[in-house]
Amino acid sequence: MRVLCISAHPDDMEINCAGTLLKCKARGDDVFVCHVNNGDMGHFEIMPDALGVMRTNEARRSCNLAGFTHLTCNIGDLDAYYQNKEQKDLLVDIIRQVNPDFIITMYPDDYMCDHEATSKLTFDAAFMATVPHYETNYPATNDVVPIFYMDAAQGVNFQPTEYVDITDVFDQKIEMLLCHESQAKWLWEHDRNDYTQSTRVLASFRGMQCGVKYAEGFRQCMVGLKLRPKRYLPE
């Protein structure tokens, strides 16, 4: 299968669904990861222009480690807007280029604007990508595909409906997360968040809920045309 993960910032994929994507890769899927925002505001000292480049490189390094194809919309932080046609079209073209069997994206009720905007932009773009007369740079795809929402920040207000056991790839997930070197200091100083520790706690908590050591949780987007009689996420 072809899996497309559309995250907001360069490190959201690693925190919430890298284990699942590693398991997709292991079963033979082609994995594509696109971050909508370039992460250019995530630092106290490094200025946005330099930081956007640095964080895109960190994301690329992480994807290279895992054998994922890296893509970006390169929109500045705090600048993703749900009703922005230009941004929607960027995502329509990402979806049309990748032609995924399913999509993993942000949860629409999360802690900050870029996460929520990314979720809603992706929801719309996934339908628009299939409309032949909606013209962008790439031809329309055939099917409206299933969407799965990754966990919300710190798991707040998010009750998974599906779990993926990531115990055997957990160390790789952390290795990928550590590629985002610029974020360790920022997340601690801005959010009091030790990102490897909080990622371990969340995976352990989701694991406890489904009876394994480490897991990632998801909610499927339950709307018409996006449902299928089979499981897409890895066993």
Would you tell me which residues interact with Zn ion (CB under 5 A)?
Answer: 8-9, 12
**Whole-angstrom distance between the N-terminal and C-terminal Cα of the chain?**
14
DSSP 164-189: EE-GGGHHHHHHHHTT-HHHHHHHHH
Contact of 116 with 109, CB cutoff 8 Å: yes
CB of 8 to Zn ion, least distance (A): 5
CB of 144 to Zn ion, least distance (A): 26
Q: Which is nearer to Zn ion, 135 or 181 (CB)?
A: 181
Cα of 10 vs its chain's centroid, Å: 9
Q: Which is nearer to Zn ion, 55 or 219 (CB)?
A: 55
Q: Which is nearer to Zn ion, 1 or 201 (CB)?
A: 201
CB of 235 to Zn ion, least distance (A): 28
The CB-side HSE value for 77 (13 A sphere, CA atoms) comes to 18
Q: Which is nearer to Zn ion, 8 or 63 (CB)?
A: 8
Cα of 126 vs its chain's centroid, Å: 15
Q: How far apart are CA 205 and CA 216, in angstroms?
A: 9
Q: Strands (DSSP E) along the chain, which ranges? A: 2-7, 30-37, 69-75, 102-105, 147-150, 162-165, 215-220
CB of 229 to Zn ion, least distance (A): 33
Q: Which residue is nearest to Zn ion (CB)?
A: 9
CB of 113 to Zn ion, least distance (A): 10
Q: Which is nearer to Zn ion, 8 or 22 (CB)?
A: 8
Tell me the C-alpha to C-alpha distance, in Å, between residue 157 and each of 90, 92, 153, 216, 223.
Answer: 29, 29, 9, 15, 20
CB of 140 to Zn ion, least distance (A): 30
Token pair 């594509």 in the structure block, residue: 32
Q: Which is nearer to Zn ion, 9 or 120 (CB)?
A: 9
